[in-house]
């Protein structure tokens, strides 16, 4: 194909067609027209990128391995420019580019780009704009993917955390119905026993005293000893229809049982004890139901606070203490599975920073989640915050094996990960860095075996 024909094709090109004719002529003279059949792999991940492509026709797709498998990140069609663009720092391909439909493109090699920028100002400017758009699309797509992955982690951990109190609530609700039935049956038997006012008052005194007493917090061995003592007392008094387990779980003492035995006899004593035990059991189960419901409410509140689901994504003063607290609450399930403890040391009156709450919390989620991954079983993760001059500094420290020196300079690169395939995307720290940069902050890391510390520095709200 002649240079004149290539120039005509460039004039009709959607991206470059508005450039001056002399510049398009220069591109046509120095370019090479290439054709690519469907299915051809034009570039693989981690290979050197050494060509600029001006696509005239066809369709190319770029796929990246995000840890959970390959995903299409971008698509290029006739009228686009792709590959190595002027002033781009791209050296190694982040993905694999495959030809979907027969494609034709004019290519310039890496060695031609310096001359292109000197001789073709308008073409260079157009390509820089295209590179900026490409970076914006990539950042948006990567952020969306990382958010979805984090949401999956959050949902998994939340499901585990909610399952425990929800299961306890279902179990306790069923037991509560049984306890109420038993207490009602005991109340009927008690009413039929014809107790005197003095006997009823004595029985009610014990009931009120037990209701006002704190629930016993005993070890399994201590509770077993109490059950044996109560069972022995019941046996000595010929009482068979009272559960020693239910009585042992109250604060009733052997002395109180002896006092009741002096006031009541036979079936009246048995009915009174069953009434007391049933009521105490119902109160205990109501207490456990309240604990389970409170835990569920706290988890839902943490999710709401973490995601800022009730707020528009605008810059506003952010309560860092609340954000860190919510994040740790949502990761307690994961920490518990590994038997890793998390210490949160944040002054309650720490000043806010300006930012988008959901994005700032994404930083804490990624860094604390990574710290939990790094920490060994029975290890420890420490999260602290302090004021340093006009900035807030948040530190996340783990006691893991540390980051190898040879990869330290790459940990913030997109798609770089030291985790096994399927366990990490390589996007987390890249997203963290981008969010911190967009909030005019800084992030750095120090690591050695047994201690890795990430430090995030953000300007205080009143300094902005």
Helix axes 266-307, 254-263, angle to 10 degrees: 140
| Structure tokens given for 332 | 């307690």
DSSP reduced 3-state for 443: strand
Task: Round to whole Å and give the CA distance between 423 and 436.
Answer: 24
Number of helices and strands in the chain (H, E): 12, 13
Selection from 200, 192, 182, 201 nearest residue 267 by Cα? 192
Strands 341-345 and 96-109: unpaired
Q: Which pLDDT belongs to residue 57? A: 94
Q: What is the dihedral of CA 238, 240, 245, 246, to 10 degrees?
A: -100
Concatenating the DSSP letter of every residue in 198-239 gives: HHHHHHHHHHHHHHHSPPP---HHHHHHHHHHHHHHHHHTT-
Q: Is the dihedral of CA 262, 267, 268, 274 positive or negative?
A: positive
Rg of the chain on CA atoms, in Å:
35
Identify the burial level of 97 via C-beta atoms within 10 angstroms of its C-beta, where 0-12 means exposed, 13-18 middle and 19 or more buried.
buried
pLDDT value at residue 332: 81
Residue entry with tokens 């001359």:
115
Q: Which tokens is 147 given? A: 């958010």
Task: Give the three-class secondary structure for 143.
Answer: helix
* Per-residue pLDDT in tens (0 to 9) along the chain, 464 residues: 788 999 999 999 999 999 999 999 999 999 999 999 999 988 787 788 888 999 999 999 888 765 555 667 778 899 999 888 887 766 777 678 899 999 999 999 989 999 999 999 999 888 888 776 665 555 555 555 555 555 555 666 566 567 667 777 888 888 888 878 887 887 887 778 777 788 888 888 877 777 665 555 555 677 788 788 888 988 888 887 777 787 777 778 888 888 888 888 778 888 888 888 878 778 778 877 877 777 777 666 656 655 555 455 677 888 899 889 888 887 887 888 889 999 999 998 899 998 888 788 888 988 998 899 999 999 999 999 999 988 999 999 999 999 888 888 778 765 555 554 334 433 468 778 888 988 899 999 999 999 999 999 999 985 44
Q: What is the DSSP string of 365-407?
A: HHHHHHHHHHSPTT-EEEEEEEEETTEEEEEEEE-SS---GGG
Dist CA 64 CA 74 (whole Å): 9
CA angle 412–416–420, rounded 5-degree value:
130
DSSP 351: P
Helix axes 320-338, 357-374, angle to 10 degrees: 30
Q: How crowded is residue 422: how many other Cβ atoms within 10 Å of its Cβ?
A: 9
Phi, psi of 301 (to 5 degrees): -65, -40
What is the helix (H) or strand (E) element at residue 33, kind and residue range?
A: strand 32-36
Distance between CA atoms of residues 186 and 370, nearest Å: 56
Q: Is 173 helix (H, G, I), strand (E, B) or coil?
A: helix
Q: Return the SS3 of 350.
A: coil
Task: For residues 427 and 173, give the distance between their C-alpha atoms in angstroms, rounded to a whole number.
Answer: 44
pLDDT digits (tens, 9 = 90+) for 397-446: 999 999 888 888 778 765 555 554 334 433 468 778 888 988 899 999 99
pLDDT computed for residue 372 by the predictor? 92
pLDDT of residue 281: 78
């Amino acid at each position: 194909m002649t240079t004149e024909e290539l120039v005509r094709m460039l004039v009709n090109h959607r991206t470059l067609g508005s450039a001056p004719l002399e510049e398009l002529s220069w591109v046509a003279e120095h370019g090479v027209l290439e054709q690519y059949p469907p299915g051809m792999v034009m570039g693989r991940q981690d290979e050197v990128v050494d060509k600029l492509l001006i696509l005239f026709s066809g369709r190319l797709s770029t796929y990246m391995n995000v840890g959970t498998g390959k995903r299409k990140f971008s698509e290029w069609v006739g009228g686009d420019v792709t590959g190595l663009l002027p002033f781009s720092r791209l050296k190694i391909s982040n993905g694999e580019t495959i030809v979907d439909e027969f494609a034709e493109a004019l290519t310039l090699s890496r060695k031609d780009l310096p001359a292109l920028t000197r001789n073709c100002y308008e073409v260079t400017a157009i390509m820089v704009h295209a590179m900026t758009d490409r970076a914006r699309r990539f950042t948006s797509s990567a952020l969306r993917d990382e958010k979805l992955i984090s949401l999956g982690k959050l949902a998994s951990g939340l499901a585990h955390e909610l399952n425990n109190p929800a299961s306890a609530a279902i179990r306790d609700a069923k037991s509560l119905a049984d306890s109420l039935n038993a207490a009602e049956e005991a109340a009927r038997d008690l009413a039929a026993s014809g107790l005197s006012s003095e006997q009823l008052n004595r029985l009610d005194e014990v009931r009120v005293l037990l209701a006002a007493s704190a629930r016993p917090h005993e070890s399994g061995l201590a509770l077993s000893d109490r059950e044996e003592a109560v069972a022995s007392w019941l046996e000595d008094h010929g009482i068979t229809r009272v559960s020693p387990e239910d009585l042992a779980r109250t604060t009733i003492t052997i002395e109180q049982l002896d006092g009741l035995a002096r006031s009541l006899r036979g079936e009246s004593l048995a009915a009174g004890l069953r009434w007391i035990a049933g009521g105490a059991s119902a109160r205990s189960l109501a207490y456990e139901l309240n604990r389970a419901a409170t835990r569920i409410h706290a988890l839902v509140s943490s999710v709401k606070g973490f995601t800022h689901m009730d707020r528009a994504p605008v810059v506003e003063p952010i309560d860092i203490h609340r954000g860190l607290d919510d994040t740790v609450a949502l990761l307690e399930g994961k920490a518990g599975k590994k038997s890793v403890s998390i210490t949160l040391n944040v002054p309650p009156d720490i000043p806010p920073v300006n930012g988008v709450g959901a994005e700032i919390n994404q930083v804490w989620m990624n860094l604390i989640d990574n710290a939990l991954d790094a920490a060994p079983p029975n290890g420890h993760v420490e999260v602290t915050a302090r004021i340093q001059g006009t900035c807030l500094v948040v530190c996340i420290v783990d006691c893991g094996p540390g980051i190898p020196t040879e990869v330290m300079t790459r940990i913030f690169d997109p798609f770089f990960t030291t985790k096994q395939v399927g366990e990490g995307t390589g996007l987390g720290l890249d997203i963290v860095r981008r969010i911190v940069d967009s909030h005019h902050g800084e992030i750095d890391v120090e690591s050695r075996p047994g201690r890795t510390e990430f430090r995030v520095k953000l300007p205080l709200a009143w300094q902005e």
